[in-house]
Amino acid sequence: MRIAAGADHAGWNLKEALVNYLIDRGWDVEDFGTFGPDSVDYPDYANKVALAVTNADVERGLLICGSGQGMCIVANKTPGVRASLAHDVISARLARQHNDANVLTMGARFVAPELAQEILEVWLATPYEGGRHQRRLEKIEQIERRGL
């Protein structure tokens, strides 16, 4: 599985740690930056990762900013992206099981690196359940097509 990663200045350090963690475990990662602590605008990085997901250049995306909220908002503007903010393992698991989330966002100010690794591992390993959840995803796709 190929994963796109991106962060702003508040999240770059955690992003670097998670990208290295994934690479060490054999994942194929495309890192869209940022690559340092200089102030940048999170929409630029969220958009790059979201487009990589929606264009099927990658299967999943990972976005990190200070709170995770901004990245999540921007990523969800892209049709076909189902970004979910997770600050714990349960929300990460449910995002995959129920929502088939294809982008994970986290807040570097709220999640320690060890917990972030656990959240990421659970999110990557958890399959989508389908079933009753599928009709809800289809409704989301209908909303995207209408442009509401």
Given 9, 72, 87, 98, the catalytic residue: 98
Would you call 98 a catalytic residue per the annotation?
Answer: yes
Which listed residue (9, 65, 87, 133) is catalytic? 65
Q: Are 63 and 78 in contact (CB under 8 A)?
A: no
* Cβ 62 vs Cβ 117: under 8 Å: no
Residue 87 a catalytic site member: no
Query: Looking at the annotation, which residues are catalytic?
Result: 65, 98
